[in-house]
Structure 1
Amino acid sequence: MNNVRPRMTNLFEQLGLDSGEAAIAQFIDSHQLEANINIVDAVYWSEAQRQFLAEKIKSDGEWAIIVDQLNESLHEDATK
């Protein structure tokens, strides 16, 4: 059983990305999505990352909240 508490840093670790605060901010800033692009359809995810995100969204559990927060952050520029 995986007892990792869902947090943005843990999400980035699960995705195999740098989970430092500055690295997360830089990733979000440099990977903004257009409004019509779903987070799982972003071109920069590997297939494993895409599947992980889709699974967490579908589970509608604690991880879904964190993935949704990332999704909102990646669409910040699209809502301005």
Structure 2
Amino acid sequence: METGHHTLNDLFAQLGLGSDDTAIEDFLGRHHLQGEEKLARAEFWSDSQRKFLRDAIIEDSDWCEVVDELDALLRH
């Protein structure tokens, strides 16, 4: 298991997405979560991305804080 503080850029890279600030802003502009929709159940993730996000929360891994941040950003 990796240790340390992960950034939003790190998370996007881990998910295999463009991880520079412009790519992240573009992603956040195109994708949103509604109401009680769970982050890991959103239709825009691949199966492996979905599993990573779900496991990060369930296992309370060192990724969970930045996954929570992503969840919040997708709700604005």
Alignment TM-score, normalising by the size of structure 1 = 0.86
In structure 1, stretches of 5+ residues that fail to align are none
CA shift for structure 1 position 66:
0.2
RMSD of Structure 2 on Structure 1 (CA): 1.5
For residues 34-73 of structure 1, what are the alpha-carbon distances to aligned partners after superposition, in whole Å with 9 as ceiling and x for unaligned? 1121101100100000000011111223310000000000
When normalised by structure 2's length, the TM-score is: 0.90
Alpha-carbon distance between aligned partners in 2 of 1:59 and 1:7, rounded to the nearest angstrom: 18
Runs of 4+ that moved beyond 3 A: 1-5
Higher helix share: 1
Alignment correspondent of 1:42: 42
Evaluate the alpha carbon distance shift between residue 17 and residue 4 of structure 1 in structure 2; reply closer, same or farther with a 3 A threshold.
farther
% identical aligned pairs: 36
Alpha-carbon distance in structure 1 between the residues aligned to 2:3 and 2:10:
11
